[in-house]
Every structure is written in structure tokens, then in C-alpha cells.
Structure 1
């Protein structure tokens, strides 16, 4: 469960904080049911009409204690987003005491004086919230959640406790347990994955000793171990004060009423010491530094180059965003042309800006194919830079890139949470909540001369940091003249951490208040779920069409779903569907791959072709005014693929590279092995959609053409559309496709699964810092009468995020894991129940035993309170069910796939309200019984295998 800031909350340009700068708890509660498709980011056309004046309406005021408050009204959905942004990140820490800001991001969710232990998560579940969540960067820490609008007062009451009624609840046992959780997060996100330590090496060498960006946001294990209770409380009292915090409320609410509530709950919290803005601290490298590291989990060499640049929202940050995208992204990019197409050293090049409040950097990353020397990669980079110096950036490329960044910018502000969050970021980083207007103007004002200027100023012949990460034993592949990087590797020691008592209650003196904060506020006026109006039709070739008109933003999202996907493959040719999808994105009969890519980008569109296990699909996002032209391109891609032999070679290399990398990732190993154990060697469901190295090598262009000709037919296709387009206009465009795409009979196979016998299975990943657990069994399809009752039953077990028993006991109680959850998932013909987690290596056996006990006890310990909490969440959460275009598209796809009515959420609400404890027990005893489970452990055999055997839970089978 990686903790990072969701894409909807950050600008999708180099102006945003990239994911690599963030650590947070992804505390979102996801329900186990067919998932809506993710919204694709759209791009703008090169030829803009009159540029609109863009602004986010807001109100701003300040309490006497210095709390900065921002309101944004949006009545499109019955929801409200509440966020607290503290202007404190890792940059406010000191060497030797790093990781405190991120530690507090965790601590602030655990307990407060008035909500009690686990009270925020329990309340979030009851009120139907999105889940209390947070993130930490170098500069800020965020806490946020979207809830039904009638829960606004509850959220303000709860968030005020973070600042005024929290710190006394942090005791030595609480701190000790949460240190273990944070260390688990570091193991999962850094220590136990390929190239996980690379950012640590880069920043340590890019910034001088003592610079606040020279250490990582998550801190070091040693610093976390050494942190005392006094250290932690002193840090909190300095930085988590009203005069260093911005509160944002965005959504459907009464601003006058909300202002009074903010005063009521936050007004009496005392201000802290005055806090001055930290001065800018840009850096300059005197010489290039080259470092290498032999990575236990890497199977391919990776080279990362980093140059110091400018802080966020600096004048040069805008042309740098254009420069990095032009150099690396797409067929016309110099780095792609040289490294991917000409020299075929890699499948992908990424380059982007990592800009923060005090300084910034640009990074270029290339993961080379197995065995390729990174000196050759570096030479290719220099060749690409020389190409740019010679050619510059053409005006059409400049406009194309700016257009894409512009619409990505708008899309990042599409939800109430995104807009509210961005208001706070502008206020903190630019000292102006209304900076959005200037932000987009500065982006659009970038010229070709600006792009050339920043290249010469920051990159051309400038010192940089070069970091080579190579597989163990392959030091020779590292960049020449590199010295070994110093990386601290944790040793696996059984019993190294002290056990914690999850039942221990903190003892502390209550903080006085002028009001009674011990009672949770009542709901406001009821928030009513509104199911969108859905229209349905059928094209002349038999394709069913489902649509929702929505003019909130001038965009259109649509998907063409063709049933089959990987299910149409043979086991000896796995990967055919995926490669077919890749080739259909790479040119048409009359357009080269570059020409097709440019045509799509100029229209501000995104067209993604992909193959899932049970479907082949086109996913499209476009500005409404360009819909007809974009649909024509989709039609061309579908009916007239180019079948470019050169592109097949590149695509096969790219897929093989992905397969190779997955060989060493414990999470990927677990997913692959678990699927095979669940379905067996003879079912295609047990194989990766990427294929294997052997199967991909054997696939030919004839295989792709045969797949295309046999299985892509309107007879098994469905179309869904959401956005600013009428039913009539969409059908007129779609009918032109129908006339040229005749239907033919296609049967989608239903391969039978033969699961392995229940028991414990172990895969050895030497020196793994965590053990990956996958536990489960086959279950009912999504169309079964038991399906939604099973989703309901699973909510308290592991589907309810931080409110679930698995999370409360393994993470909040024991500190064994960063995250654990269980899910019920299915399609038309089958499904599964599964539990997934990564636990620290030295409590592998203890974790397996605890999960075993929780499952064994679940039916008999399910209470009336559990029943009511599940009902409350699963009914009230529907107010958030259709906020975004992606969610609306998901509604349509569920209707078309499962033949559900448009208001199927009403049926689910009725099911939830009618559930009883005996019905929950019946579902749990039928689908979650211990003797039917496959238990998979992926970890370090040398230290954990014998401990698992001693549990006495059955034979432990080694899997190669």
C-alpha cells in the first residue's frame, strides 16, 4: 500500500511535487467490486481558441490564532473535502533527527483526546468518507478527506483535535509501535524494491552536507530508532500550530455556517511561536560526481543523472517543464530517438523536474536492457543532447507540449479535493491562493528561446550527479570512474523489535476546552445520493452504447470495450493481446507512429489501447470541441492498424524488459505465483498478461494479425461515453464506425481453473527485508447473488481500510505491516477472495498466525456494531460514487458488463440495509474458511522458512 499523494491532488506538470518527494499513508478504503476505469489525463489542442481567464473562486480569512482558512464552493455533488496543510516537511528537520514530519503524518491519525484511539478511522468509516489520508513532502504535510456534505461539522471537530487535543496521547508505547510502522513503509517502498535507494544516493550527493534536502523525507531507520518522546513532542509544538497551518473546505456547504464552525472548533487553540519562511537554498555543483551501487533486487542496470535547478514556481521552472518533456517523451524526443529507436539500449526514458520550496533539480533516468553497459547509455544521452543543440525545438512541438501541459493542469483541478488542495499549495509556495491564473499564463508564455536558454543554463556542459544501480556482481556495467555509494542495508534479525501491547491505553492529562468536545457532532441536513441519468442505444452493427451527458467541464471520456483480452490467448503464446494493443497505438495505414502520436497530441487528446485479462479496450479523453476529429483517429487506429515491424521489435524489447524487472520484485513474484496457484498451469488466468520471455520472443506479426482478425468484433464490444456531448452527436459519430466495422461471431472462452491444494507455499527471495503475503481462494462471480453480501461481509474484515480488523490488529495493534487488506473481486464467470500484505521479515510467522486467528474468529465475533458500521459506510459512501467522469464511466461499464440497472446502487443499499449477523456468518463460513485457503509467502528462506514450519499450520511447500 504505497503512501503517496494521489494524482488528482497535484499538478501533472513539472510544477507539481513529483511522487518521489512524497511519503504518506494511502489510507483510502477501497471496496472489493468491479472497479471503474481510471480517468486518463487529456491534452489540449495546439491551436487554442481565445485563452480563457481561469480562476478558482475562493474566500480567505484568518482566525486570531493565525489559522489560515480558505473556502471554495462547488455544488456539483453532495460532498465536501476538508484538508489541513501544515507548512512543515523534512526540510524543517535536523540531521540525526530526520523523518519527524513523516512520523507525525502517521501519529496524527492514531488517537486524540476527544475521538479516542482509532476514533478518526472509525468515524470516517461510519460517515461514508473517502478515508482519512495524508502525505508528507520536503516542505509540507497534508491531511485530507472527502465526506458527504452532512458530515462537515464532524470533520471540523475531528481535524481541530489534531492541533489542540492530540499531543498528550503520544506515549512511549505509541511512539514505539508507530516507529515500526514507518520502518515497514521504508522497507516496502525503498529497501525491498529494485533501485529503491537511488534517490537517497542522488540527494546525498547533489546537496551539500546539512542542506535540508540532502536527506530523505522518510528519514533513516537509525534516526527513527533514536527519536525520543521529548524530541517528538518538541517538534510538534514548534511546527503544528495554527499560525503554521492552512485549513481548506471545498464543496457543497454554507460558507457562513462553516465560518462559525471553524471559529467554534479551532478558535481557542493557542498560537505558537512566530515562524519565518525559510530562505531559498539553491545549490551549485563544482564538479560531476559518479556513484554506483550493486542492487540486490535489480536485474537490469539503471543510470540516473541529476542537475541542480530552481525552486517551485520560479520563472525558469516553466521552460524546464517543456524542455524535459521534449527531450524524453514521445517519438520526436531526441532521447527516445537515440536511446530507444536507433541504439535500442532501453525501452523507455524519463526526465522531469523535482522542484520544491527551497531548491530544485532535474533528473534523467534510463533503465537499460539486461547486460547493457551504462557507458553506452551515457554516450547515447550525449548524442541526443547534441541533436537537440543542433535542431532546437520546433514551434509545432512547443505548442504541442504546452497544450498537453495546459489540459493536464486543468484536469488536476477537476475534483473539489484537488481544487481545495491546490489553493493551499499556491498560498504556501506562491504566497497567493489565486496564483492559478498567473501559473497557467506563465506556462503558456514559454518560447523556444526560453527552452534553449534553460538547457544552456542548467544542463549543457554543467556538472551533475550520475548514479549507476547495477545487479549484484555486475559492477562492470556501471558508468566509468564511479565510486561506490554508501547505502545502509538493514539486516534481518529475528526478535530485533520489542513486542507492543495493542490493548494498552495511553494515560495523560486532558487539555481543557471552552466547549464540550467529548461528544461527536450530529449530522447536518441529509446528503442525498444522486444517480446520473443514463441513456442507452444500439449501433447498426450491434454494439450497445451507454452514455451520461455532463457539462461540468468541456471534455468527453469514452471507452470501447471488446470482451476477450488475454482469455483469447493460448498458453504458449501469452502476451499476444498485450503486444497487439501496443502495436495498434503505433501508427495506422496512412500515418507513421510519429505522425499518429503528433495528431493525437495536437488535438489535446489521449487514446490508450490496452489488453486486460478479460477485455481489449480503447480508453479516450478529449476536449469536447475536438471530439469528432479524435473519434476519427480512434476509428482509423481500430480499422487500419499499421503493423510496423520496427515497432514490434521495440515493443517486444520493452515487454521483455518489464518481465525481467518483475523477476526480482517480491510483490510481482507474489502476484504471479498466487495467480498460478489459484488457477493452475492449464488456465490462461494463471499467467501474466505480459507473457514470458520465451513466449514474447516467439510471437510474430502474423500472431498479432491473427488475434486482431479473429477476436476484435462488434459482436463482443460495448461503448460508454461521459461528458459534454449529446446522445445525438455521439451516436452520429459512432454510427460512421459501425458502418465500416461489420460484426462477426466471436466466442469468449471460460477457462476452467484447477487451484493448488490448500496449504502454505513459500518462494525464496534471499535477503528480502519484507515478506509478501497473499492468502485466498476462488469465490463467486460478480453476478452471483452472494457477491454483494460478500463485499458487505468483507468490509469489517479487511475491506474497510484502517477501520478493518486486519489493519487494526496487524498495523495499528502490532506494527507488523505498513498495510494489509482483503478483497472480494469477480467478473461474469468467476471471482476470488484474497488477503494481501507486506510484513517485516522477522515477524513473518507471527503475521501468518495472527491472520489465521482473525479469520478463524471472524464469524463468531461479528457484532451488531460491525453490522451497523458496514451499513452506514456502504450506504453513505454512495454520495461520492459519481463525482468524477471516471466514476460515471465505471457505472456505465458495470451496467454493460453485468447487465445491471442504472440504479444498481439502490439495490445494493437495500441489500446492505437487509443484512443480518447470521447472513454475514453464512458468507464468511462458506467463502472465508481456513481449510480452503492458499497461503503464499514470498521472503527470505534462510531466516523465515523454519519459523513458518514451527507454527504447525500444515506442510510448507517450496515453490521455485
Structure 2
């Protein structure tokens, strides 16, 4: 798992992450949910309040500690949140907070080299991770409960015994990693600089939100060791940190451990909360940028609004969702349905501690002028001013926010995050009751009031991002945005030796901290109790009853999906699935959407390579009417011609938008190389621009009639509903859905010959690498041994050789991993990464060397580490609802028993060094691989040829715009 930078606009929900129904310190207990009293489609009102009990105390050094007990699984989540983000930086010295997010995982005085990452691999943790925002940085991991003391020891070591281990080589290497992250997340993707343009123009110079959380490449490069240490000593102190422990543990023992490991860390200087600094715009600002990777124009508007948890943030959340989301949304009705300028409108909030902003983004269809989009936005606003918001819309939006919150609490880590967020942003971990009261108190008048106060006629920042050479599509009167483009210069980066042992003075302690604490009482894997049943003629049902939160999640999987398509008309399954979401014979698309949202549910229909899926999440109290809607969607699709036209426009826009995005190009090109032009497996499930244009409604109806049947359908349910309730609700579906024989084809793949394949993306700041070959099926005796064998190579995150050598050793990449992907009839082994452009050849050579040497250098210690992780990590294997659904889907698809995890433990214990070497020799031989490179041909192709690693083939140069139609030059 890679360290990820959060708080980008794309991650922002229209909802405050409000703890709906969350009660504070020892004030509530969870009560059983009332059940629906009738078959009515009306929602059942909640009669109880959902609560999270917690305890809170503070050490003398100021460390805030929060405990939450949850004994549903034998796991504990530990998170450490520092109240410091990019807002505490200074202009010219940006990116420090995010840099520390990285540095704190590497080493500390008593954990030693490899730090928390190395320990996580041994103890079966979820992988130490972290995130940085404008205002806080957090570090977190879920571990088996018997490793709690180890985690507290390690977290204390990071806080009190870390900074001396940061040396010049360590800093130099991590600078390269962070710069790679910036290239991957911002510089090398369409619209990646949008937020930079918005914030640079929304906030004045010197404002702490004027710069991006990740900082600039120049600031990162210029950071000195003294700068870094000064920043740490000021902000990473106990009196600026909140520690949360959530899960299955003994409170008194945990308190004793917290005191033992954290008490002697000295407090820092007093830290005052920063004053609010709202953005003030005197007039609108318009900027445009010709984007190297964009294929269609996009317009983003941003208005100054309010900080997180401000009283106006609640009606603003409702306003944003009502304006933009769904068939009833004024902006959707104008821009998507009436004017057909775009397939989607999104609004979100970037609400931070000191200020906030509301943003609206429209990615237009190819060639559309953004002035027309802007006029459409104003027309949508005028429609809202005329109509207002109806009471039923207000209630359906609140219902959706409720289910979104509950879903965020399905893990102990999610519960811990919520407590920490309240503590850090409000100073009150028990703020939940006020939070929910404010949300539920929002009125239609409030929504109209905040629209007039923050949006109507107010100055904004407009960012027009258009394809290179199409500046005429930008919003009128826009001035060029000032963005610094990095040049690709081979050999430009400084060299360093991150492997050398650092020499530093050790920080004293009252006891010997170098000794890692022992494990506690063993954490036994809790395999959920599974029930199975059959409905009607062949409809198989698998379920797990779980009442941790008052929700139900279920999936209905119809085998076939893309496999039922022809290679000359890909995309039929996807469009069929899209149409099943767009109205029924009884309800218009708008009526169906409203009915689903009013019940606080989410119902999605999708098509993948092997199946058409219906995925549902709902409040448990509304399960019956929600399932009735699922049956209606499945058995009575509307086949609306206008909706098909909109759907085809949306898919075409998606294909064109992705056409110059390096990761999308690599994904499609690699599938084509792995499977060949004669196998549907090698095609994008969305289809091609040409095939989508050619697909008719009759094609969709034929697919629906011929391939969707209960005879190839599996149903899975997890949540606060028992077997009898579910079967009673699902029985009508079995009665009304006639079964027919359906054969799912298994097309044979014909992979390309091993060698290096190159796709040119001019100006790419990173090269995307996809390396792999066909492998075994999930039913093969080699499957799980191969998963085991891959752990040390690239499946173990930061513990793997690929990550250790390419990221930690060389600083070539932000992240790299390898994995076994397998289905019932076949699979593949693949490595994926993005590396900085000027080390493309070096990265390919290093990966080749690692693969070549892997079998011969695999040791008994590697075997022990893999065995420890794969057995111990099973303690958290079934914690979340999605993990439980995964268990059920594996059982139904592969015929595995409910406790197949026990079989895997037996395989793990029986593995030997020789068995791993045999697997590696057969499936991980570099000479058997397809090596795909997507990058800048002008600077990198010749350097790859000079490696002499085999034939290099340049793929069709039209590939970036043709996607699945990729061909190989003869």
C-alpha cells in the first residue's frame, strides 16, 4: 500500500463527514434497529441513535488519547494524528508536512532500518500508511490485537526517537520519492494542475492555502536538513498529537502501555490554534491552461465559502448535492439532458480548518466551447432560483448522507478516524451529536440562503483546461495560468546512497527501548458464520448476518459480462448495465433515482470482464423496498432511447478523456498484449469509440435476453438482516425471473511474444511500466503457493524487494508492486509502476535483475517473514462488510468452503524455499515477460534499446487515441 496524499478536489464529498447519530463519551449504547412493518416503498424512519462509546484522557505532556472498544473482530487500529499540515509551512518552504508523512515510516532509533514497514510485514498488519491535508497529518494501521503493544512502542519511537535518524542521504532519497508522487498524481495526468491554478488565484500570496499540500518540486529540492529538523521539533510534539486506539483490547492494560511508552516524551512549545483566514475575492479571476494530457476541455469554478464544521457548511452540503447530483439536479437537467454539453456535473467542498471553498467541475464533450458550458451553469442556477428545493429532495439527500456515514464506520479504523477528526478540528471528540443535529436541522430556506450568500453573483476563480492547441475553447477573457513544466533531462537527479547506516547521537530513555515488546495472547482468526440457500430454479444465495452498523450490503453476480461479447462490438455488456440503472417500465429514470435515494440506498449495475453485477448498500430498516426496486430494475428495464443516447455520449467521452492518460493507455495496451486481438479479454470493457457508436438498442436487448438468467447468478448478503428476512424479501425475484440455460464462453488468449513494447506519449514526466505474462487459474494447485511466493518479490508492499530497491533504495518511483490475478480459467502475473522519465531504462534494467535473481536469492528468512505475515494477517481478513462479501463471492464462484482461509494457512505452513524457487522459476522468469513502457519516445526509446534486453517493438503511434484498437507495427 502506498502513502497517499489526500484532500484533492476529486476526493471531496458534498457531505460533511458528519457522524450521523454518533454519540460521544460514554453517552449511548447501540440499540437494535426496528424492522420494516410493511412492504411499502416508503422509507422507515430511524427510531434509535447510532453511537460509538469512547474514553478520553491526556498525558502530562499534552498527548490526547482516545479509546474505542469493538470486539467484533480480533484486531486493533492505531492512528497517530499530528495537528500540522501544509498550512503550517511558509512560502518557499512548502511540502514539509507531506515529506514527514513519508520520513516517519523509514527508520527510528529503536525500530532500526526499515522502521514500521519492516515490523508491519512481520506482525500481519494492514500496512503502515498515512495521509496529509492542509491541516493535519495522520499515520495509521490495523493489526491483530496481540500486536497492540508493539504498535504503541513503535508509534512512541516515531514521535520521540526519530528525528536523529534523518540524515542527508535519507532526505535526498525521500525527496525523489515525493517528487515521483507529484509527477504521478499531478504532472503526468489530465487536469492534474487544476487545483494548483484554483488555489493560487483564490488565496493571496502568503495565505497558508495558496500552495498545494505536496509542495513544489523546487521547494522540495531546496529543503535542507536543518529546515526539516526545525519543522519536526516545532510541530511533532505530544501536545500537538492525538492517539486513537480502536478495536478489541483491554483498556487498563492499554492505558498502562500508553503511559509507559509516551510519558517521557517532552512536550513542545505551546501551540495556538491558527486564526480563521477566509478567502476574499474582489472580482472574478479567469485562467486557462493548454493541458498536454487532456483530450476534452474542462471548466472548474471555485467560490470562497466556509471552514469545516461552520454552521453554513451543512446547508452548503445539501445545496451542492441538489444542484449537481442526479436527474432532478438543475445543473444535470440543463447541461446533460437539455444542452448535452457533458455527461456529468460534479460539485464538492474543499472545507479546511481556516477557510473553505465550493467547487463545480464540468468535463465537456470533445470540441465544446467552455463559454457554452458557463452559460449552461448560469441557466441551471436560474432554474434553481425559480424552483427552490422541495421537501422530498431535502429528505432524500439526508438519507443518502446517513448511509454514506454508516459505510464509513464498518471498520475499527473508520471509527477511530472519526473520533480523531472531531478532536483535531473542534477540540471535542464528542462533537458528533451537535454535528448530526446541525445536519438534520437544515431547511429549504437555509439552502436558498447559502446559495445567495456564497454563489449567486459572487466572484469566483475559473480554471479552463483545454487540449494543447485548442486555447479557443477556454472561457472568454481568460488569461494564461502560470504553471512550471518540468523538463525531462537524463541524469539530472543527484546521486545518493540510501543503504548506508546513519551515524547519530541516540536519544536517552528511562528504559531500554531497543527491545521489541512481545506478542500478547494469540489473535485467532474469526471466520464468519455463513448461511447458504437456494431460491427458485438455480438462484444460489450466500449470507452473513452482522449487526455492527444498521446497514445491509449485497451483490448479485451474473456470470458472463464482457465474455459474452464479440470482438468486433465490445462495450455491449457495459451499456446494457448502464441502461438497467436508467429507469424501469414503471418508473422514469428520475423517478427510479428518487425512489432509491429516498430510501437511503445505493444501487449500481456494472459489467466487468467476467460478470454483470448489481451492488447494493442500504439502511437495514429499508431493505424490503430496496430489494423490490432491485427486482424491478433487473426484470423490467425501461430501454429509454434518450437515455441510451446520453449513455453512449458518456462512454465516448470517457474513452476520449483517457486517450492520452498514460496509466489508461498502459492498462489497455497491456491487456491487448496479454490476450491478443482475437480474445475479448484484450479489449476495454467500455468498448471503443467506433463500437460504442455502432451499438444499437436491439444489441442491448439481445444481450439482456440471451445472457441474464438466474441459472448463472449468485447472490451474496452481509449485514443487519437474518436469513429468513432476506429469503422472504428475495423470494418474489425467484418466482418472477424464469431460468434458461446459458453458456459462458472462455475465449483463448494469444499473448504477444516476450520482449519490450513501447507506446509514445510525448512530454510524459513519468514512464508507466506494465510487466507480466499469463499464469495459472485460481483453481490451480499453484495459485496460492504463487501468492505466497510473490509476497517478498512485490506483494508485500514496503517489505517487498521491488519496493525496497526501486523506491527506498533508488528513489525511482512513488510505488511499485506485483501480483497474481486469477479467475476460474486462467490468470496472469504482473508488475506495475510509474517511474520518473529520466530513469526509465535504469528501472527496467533493475526490475529485470531483481526477477532474474529472485529464485536463487530467496532465503529461509524470506520464507519465515512471508509465513508470519500471511497467517497473522488473517485476523483482519473479514473485518469489513466488503471483505465479508468477498468471502461469499469466492465461495460461490470457486466452490471454496467458508473456512478456506484455514486451507491457505495449511499451504503457508507447508511452503519451502525450494517450492518458492520452483514457482518463481516458472512464473517470474524475466525472459518470459511482456515488458510494456508508456512514455516519452524522444528521450527514452534509444536508452531502452541500448539495454540489449531483447527485441523492442514500437506500438502503433495512434494508440493513445485508439485505446483498445491498439496494433503492433510489423
Alignment TM class, shorter chain as reference: over 0.9
The Cα of 1:49 is off from its aligned counterpart by 2.6
Q: CA deviation at 1:16?
A: 4.3
Displacement of 1:502 after TM fit?
3.5
- Counterpart of 2:286 in structure 1 is 290
Distance 1:627 1:857 in 2: 54
Superposition deviation, residue 46 in structure 1? 7.9
Query: Measured at CA, do residues 293 and 642 of structure 1 come closer, stay the same or move farther in structure 2, by a change above 3 Å?
Result: same
SS of 2:948's equivalent in the other structure is coil
Q: Structure 1: how far apart are the matches of 2:14 and 2:517?
A: 40
Find the counterpart in structure 2 of residue 40 from structure 1. none
Cross-structure match for 2:851: 855
- 1:613 maps onto 2:580 in alignment: no
Distance 2:41 2:194 in 1: 37
Q: Measure how far apart 1:406 and its partner are.
A: 2.0
Match of 2:938 in 1: 942
TM-score (structure 1 length as normaliser) = 0.96
- Is the CA contact (8 Å cut-off) linking 1:292 and 1:482 kept in structure 2? yes
Task: Please give the per-residue CA displacement for 1:291-319, whole angstroms capped at 9, x wherever unaligned.
Answer: 00000000000000000001100000000
Measure how far apart 1:15 and its partner are: 1.9
For residues 499-538 of structure 1, what are the structure 2 equivalents within 5 Å? Answer: 499-538=495-534
SS across alignment from 2:113: coil
Partner of 2:24 in structure 1? Answer: none
2:234 paired with 1:269? no
Match of 2:132 in 1: 136
Task: List per-residue Cα deviations over 1:155-199 (Å, max 9, x = no partner).
Answer: 000001111110000011110110000000000000000000010
CA distance in 1, matches of 2:3, 2:643: 33
1:101, distance to aligned residue in structure 2 (A): 0.2
Verify the 8 A CA contact 2:403 2:601 in the aligned structure 1. no
Partner of 2:4: 3
Change (3 A) 1:265 1:2: closer
Partner of 2:364: 368
TM-fit CA distance, 1:572: 1.3
Alpha-carbon separation, structure 2, partners of 1:838 and 1:554:
41
SS at match of 2:660: coil
Q: Which residue of the partner structure matches residue 915 of structure 1?
A: 911
What's the secondary structure of 1:442's corresponding residue? helix
The match for 2:677 is 681
- Give the deviation of 1:505 after TM superposition: 1.2
The equivalent residue for 2:15 is 14
Cα deviation 1:557-602 (Å, max 9, x = unaligned): 1111110000000011100000000000000001000000011111
Shift of 1:414: 2.5
1:578-628 C-alpha deviation (Å, 9 max, x unpaired): 000000000000100000001111111111100010001111111222111
Match of 1:714 among 710, 713, 721: 710
Equivalent in the alignment of 1:170: 166
Asked if 1:904 is matched to 2:905, the reply is: no
Which residue of the partner structure matches residue 207 of structure 1? 203
For 2:468, the equivalent position in structure 1 comes to 472
Contact 1:12 1:412 in 2 (8 A): no
Query: Contact 2:596–2:626 at 8 Å: present in 1 too?
Result: yes
Cα distance, 1:552 vs. partner?
Answer: 1.9
SS at match of 1:202: helix
TM-superposed deviation, 1:111: 0.6
Match of 1:378 in 2: 374
Alignment match, 1:576: 572
Report how far residue 538 of structure 1 moved. Answer: 1.2
Q: Which has the higher contact order (CA 8 A, sep 6+)?
A: 1
What SS does the aligned partner of 1:94 have? coil
5+ long unaligned stretches in structure 1? 18-43
Pair 1:928-2:929 in alignment: no
CA contact (8 A) 1:334 1:388 kept: yes
Q: Are 1:440 and 2:436 counterparts?
A: yes
Mapped contact 1:502–1:809 kept (Cα < 8 A): no
1:318 pairs with one of 306, 314, 319: 314
Q: For residues 563 and 506 of structure 1, what CA distance do their matches in structure 2 show? A: 55
Q: Paired residue for 2:790? A: 794
1:955 to 951, 958, 962: 951
**Unaligned stretches of 5+ in structure 2?**
19-39, 957-970
Q: Distance in 1 between matches of 2:251 and 2:206?
A: 44
Deviation at 1:50, TM superposition (A): 5.1
- Write the distance in 1 (CA, Å) between the matches of 2:85 and 2:308: 15
Q: Which residue of 2 aligns with 1:658?
A: 654
CA distance in 2, matches of 1:82, 1:285: 41
The equivalent residue for 1:352 is 348
Q: Say if 1:87 and 1:383 are closer, same or farther in 2 by CA, change over 3 A.
A: same
Number of residue pairs matched?
932
**2:298 pairs with 294, 298, 302, which one?**
302
The secondary structure found in structure 2 opposite 1:518 is coil
SS of 2:693's equivalent in the other structure is: helix
- Out of 146, 152, 156, the residue aligned to residue 150 of structure 1 is 146
CA distance in 2, matches of 1:517, 1:887: 36
**Cross-structure match for 1:403:** 399
Segment drifting more, 99-108 vs 617-626: 617-626
Q: CA deviation at 1:344?
A: 0.3
2: CA distance, partners of 1:638 / 1:740? 11
Return the offset for 1:732: 2.0
1:220 and 2:216 equivalent?
yes
1:326-351 CA distances to partner (integer Å, 9 max, x unpaired)? 00000000000000000000000000
Contact 2:410 2:881 in 1 (8 A): no
Matched residue of 1:572: which SS? coil
Q: Deviation digits for residues 374-427 of structure 1, max 9, x if unmatched?
A: 000000000000000000001110111111112212322222111111111101
**What residue number does 1:32 align with?**
none
Contact 1:55–1:434 (8 Å) recurs in 2: no
Partner Cα distance (1:215, 1:553) in 2: 39
Shift of 1:718: 0.8
Does the Cα contact within 8 Å between 1:45 and 1:602 map onto a contact in 2?
Answer: no
1:529 is paired with a residue whose SS is: coil
Residue 628 of structure 2 corresponds to residue 632 of structure 1: yes
Aligned-residue offset at 1:733: 2.2
Instruction: Tell which deviates more after alignment, 322-331 or 115-124.
Output: 115-124
Secondary structure in 2 aligned to 1:101?
A: helix
Contact 1:56 1:436 in 2 (8 A): no
Checking the alignment, whether the CA contact within 8 Å between 2:80 and 2:244 is kept in structure 1 is yes
Counterpart in the other structure of 2:816: 820
- Compute the displacement of 1:6 (Å): 11
Structure 1 residues 18-59: Cα deviation after superposition (integer angstroms, max 9, x where no partner): xxxxxxxxxxxxxxxxxxxxxxxxxx9985635534432111
Structure 2: distance between partners of 1:943 and 1:767: 9
Cα distance, 1:825–1:425 mapped onto 2, change above 3 Å: same
State the partner residue of 1:115. Answer: 111
In structure 2, the residue matched to 1:770 is 766
Deviations 1:721-743 (A, max 9, x none): 11122212212222211111111
Query: TM-score with structure 2 length normalisation?
Result: 0.95
CA distance in 2 between counterparts of 1:497 and 1:294 reads 27
Cα distance per residue 1:859-916 (max 9 Å; x no partner): 0111111101111111111110111111111100000000101100000000001100
- Root mean square deviation of aligned Cα: 1.4
Checking the alignment, whether the CA contact within 8 Å between 1:13 and 1:405 is kept in structure 2 is no
Confirm or deny: 8 A CA contact 1:757 1:934 kept in the other structure.
yes
* SS in structure 2 of the partner of residue 571 of structure 1: coil
Distance 1:16 1:852 in 2: 45
In the other structure, the counterpart of 1:280 is: 276
* Range with greater deviation from structure 2 (929-938 or 547-556): 547-556
